[in-house]
Amino acid sequence: MRVISGKYKSHPIKTVSNKKTRPTSDKVKEALFHSIGPYFQGGTALDLFAGSGALGIEALSRGMDHVIFVDKDYQANKLIKENIRQLKLTEQCEIYRTDAFRAIKAAGKRDKKFDYVFLDPPYGKISFDDIFENLHDAKVLADNALIVCEHNQDEVLPESTRLFLKEKQSSKTSLTSITIYRYYQRGNDK
């Protein structure tokens, strides 16, 4: 696995070698970033279920200012730290070993706001609706934030919810789909 584009283009990224973590393929990663960018003029991102940190690192390489990485797996966290150190990105990152829902709540208590959220949970084990609700309730999303969901191609995500409007669905491979939502804060707190 490698960084696809930007400042750290072609830099290798080490991945976790256990069955708990499924790395995002370079093909899917490239399609994902072409859908939402492909480059950024700053901003903050939350990489939940971060695995090796490949999505957050790619965002930093493409111009994101700051990324918070969250994964509850010990090996994954160790590897994220190693990948971040090798790229000398420690000043632009925070890494937490915790459950995604606890991380969202903690970010809310710290008044964090994210322009992008990358969600790549274990397929079929986490409810995207629950994550969306928690992101909203914790008030961690900037208005117009993009929520990028990587999921099994057989899983159908809703067109929209009370809080989120589906922007697009793309990047169908043999196993993976990417669905992107936009968050509109105004009017959602009634």
- Highest mean pLDDT among 20-24, 97-101, 164-168 belongs to 97-101
95 pLDDT higher than 60:
yes
Tell me the per-residue pLDDT of 131-147, one tens digit each, with 9 for 90 and over: 999 999 999 999 999 99
Dihedral over Cα of 77, 118, 21, 121: its sign: positive
Domains parsed from the chain with CATH numbers: 26-183 (3.40.50.150)
pLDDT tens digits, 124-180: 888 898 999 999 999 999 999 999 998 888 887 877 776 788 876 665 555 788 889
Spell out the long-range contacts of 80-83 with Cβ–Cβ below 8 A and sequence spacing 24 or more.
80/50, 80/51, 80/52, 80/53, 82/14, 83/13, 83/14, 83/52, 83/53, 83/57
